[in-house]
């Protein structure tokens, strides 16, 4: 059967930005008087794209940790667990940089795990070792020696330490005695600082970022005030996409060309006064977000510039639909084709052909 006319259209599904969560972003390791005691803790990587969890990967060789700190990663392909271990060589708190790979390595988001050391208190008077107590009865941040009569400690010694397990504040005993006589002063808080928030990749659209250069380039007129590495840009005129490689405002951020998401142009119809041509329209546009895809494609057939009705089209042949270059037609024939969320994975190109 001869193809009398054809056209094609591409539909694109853009998803929400990426985000990464550490189930444990800070930890306090027990210590001696001047260094950490050997120990370990774990944190699990949870990656999201919008409201959906997606696979994450961590290359242990690319994790950056202070001297004396080692890491290992399990084999879970969706939400890997990182084990952070310290040795007695660690004498201060620090930060572990964990690069998380998403989207098959196209997106890298750095997460930061922080740790501190809870040092053992100084030796008490008369050669007796200082003792650590814990609870929630000694409170506040006063450096003035204060009695906490409900502490429950019956025989505190000078130099003994107390950890408030709610606030993570620590205190040192300066006057020995029972709860009604012992006095305590605030020393400091041993809770690790909150890790840096991972910034999810954001999609921008417009016509200001252009070209097909894979060399990182600044587009000062982009209008984007705070681009982050991994953010994406769609030029709505050319359908070229770009990825940010250097973060910053429009005058500093750099972008590289990734690809074009517009399908190739369909074959031109026959020339002449009786030329038969076709165009395809989409009732809800061609770009969707988060698989919220629902649209109807309609093939419009023209002869000598005038649109034909269904009867005239049937006299010429049958409109058949093809997807993503397949040579096998879809089961639906006719002028319209309904598209739903399950029909598209990121992008799909549909071709309508009038055959007869």
Residues 80 and 61 in one domain: yes
Residues 42 and 110 in one domain: yes
**pLDDT for res 69:** 95
Give a yes or no: residue 40 inside a domain.
yes
Give a yes or no: residue 194 inside a domain.
no
**pLDDT for res 296:** 93
List the 161-164 sheet strands across, edge first. Answer: 132-135, 161-164, 169-175, 183-189, 146-147
**pLDDT for res 199:** 47
Residues 183 and 274 in one domain: no
Q: What is the largest CA-CA distance in the chain?
A: 111
**pLDDT for res 270:** 47
Residue carrying structure tokens 């517009």: 262
Write out the residue range of the structural domain in which residue 67 sits: 18-118
**pLDDT for res 302:** 87
**Of the candidates 189, 211, 235, which is a domain's last residue?**
189
Task: Mark the ranges of the chain whose per-residue pLDDT is less than 70.
Answer: 1-2, 4-5, 12-17, 50-51, 121-129, 191-201, 261-274, 289-291
3-state SS assignment for residue 93 = coil
Residues 216 and 280 in one domain: no
Give a yes or no: residue 196 inside a domain.
no
Give a yes or no: residue 342 inside a domain.
yes
Residues 30 and 7 in one domain: no
Give a yes or no: residue 33 inside a domain.
yes
**Of the candidates 72, 101, 118, which is a domain's last residue?**
118
**pLDDT for res 268:** 53
**Of the candidates 118, 135, 170, which is a domain's last residue?**
118
Q: Are 206 and 236 in contact (CB under 8 A)?
A: yes
Burial class (CB in 10 A: 0-12, 13-18, 19+), 33: exposed
Query: Taking Cα atoms as reference points, which of 356, 214, 343 lies closest to residue 291?
Result: 343
Neighbouring residues of 168: CB distance < 8 A, sequence distance ≥ 6: 28, 189, 190, 191
Q: What is the pLDDT of residues 41-90, one digit of tens each?
A: 999 998 887 667 889 999 999 999 999 999 999 999 989 999 999 999 99
Total tally of structural domains belonging to the chain? 4
Q: What does each C-alpha distance from 221 to 201, 247, 350 come to in angstroms?
A: 20, 15, 34
Which of the 8 DSSP states describes residue 309? -
Residues 11 and 52 in one domain: no
Give a yes or no: residue 283 inside a domain.
yes
Q: What is the pLDDT of residues 139-156, one digit of tens each?
A: 999 999 999 999 999 999
Give a yes or no: residue 198 inside a domain.
no
Give a yes or no: residue 195 inside a domain.
no
CB atoms within 10 A of CB 72: 13
Task: Specify the CATH number for the domain of residue 33.
Answer: 2.60.40.10
């Amino acid at each position: 059967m001869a193809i009398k006319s054809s056209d094609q259209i591409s539909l694109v599904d853009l998803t929400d930005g990426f985000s990464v969560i550490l189930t444990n972003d800070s930890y306090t390791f027990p210590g001696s008087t001047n260094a950490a005691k050997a120990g370990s803790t774990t944190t699990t990587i949870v990656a999201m794209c919008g409201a959906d969890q997606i696979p994450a990967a961590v290359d242990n060789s690319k994790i950056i940790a202070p001297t004396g700190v080692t890491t290992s990663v399990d084999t879970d392909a969706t939400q890997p667990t990182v084990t952070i271990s310290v040795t007695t060589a660690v004498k201060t708190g620090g930060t572990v940089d964990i690069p998380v790979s998403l989207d098959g390595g196209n997106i890298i988001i750095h997460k930061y795990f922080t740790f501190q050391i809870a040092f053992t208190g100084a030796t008490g008077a008369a050669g007796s070792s200082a003792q650590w107590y814990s609870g929630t009865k000694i409170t506040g941040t006063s450096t003035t020696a204060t009695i906490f009569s409900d502490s429950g400690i019956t025989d505190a010694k000078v130099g003994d330490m107390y950890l408030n397990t709610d606030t993570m504040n620590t205190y040192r005993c300066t006057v020995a005695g029972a709860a009604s006589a012992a006095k305590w002063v605030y020393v400091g808080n041993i809770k690790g600082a909150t890790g840096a928030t991972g910034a999810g990749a954001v999609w921008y659209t417009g016509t200001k970022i252009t070209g097909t250069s894979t060399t990182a380039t600044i587009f000062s007129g982009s209008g984007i005030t705070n681009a982050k590495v991994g953010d994406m840009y769609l030029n709505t005129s050319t359908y070229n996409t770009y990825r940010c490689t250097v973060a910053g405002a429009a005058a500093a951020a750099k972008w590289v060309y990734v690809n074009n998401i517009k399908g190739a142009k369909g074959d031109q119809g026959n020339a002449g006064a009786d030329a038969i041509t076709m165009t395809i329209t989409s009732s809800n546009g061609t770009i969707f977000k988060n698989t919220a895809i629902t649209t109807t494609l309609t093939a419009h057939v023209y002869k000598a510039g005038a649109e034909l009705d269904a009867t005239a089209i049937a006299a010429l042949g049958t409109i058949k639909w093809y997807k993503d270059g397949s040579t096998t037609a879809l089961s639906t024939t006719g002028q319209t084709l309904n598209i739903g969320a399950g029909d598209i994975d990121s992008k799909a190109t549909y071709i309508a052909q009038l055959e007869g």
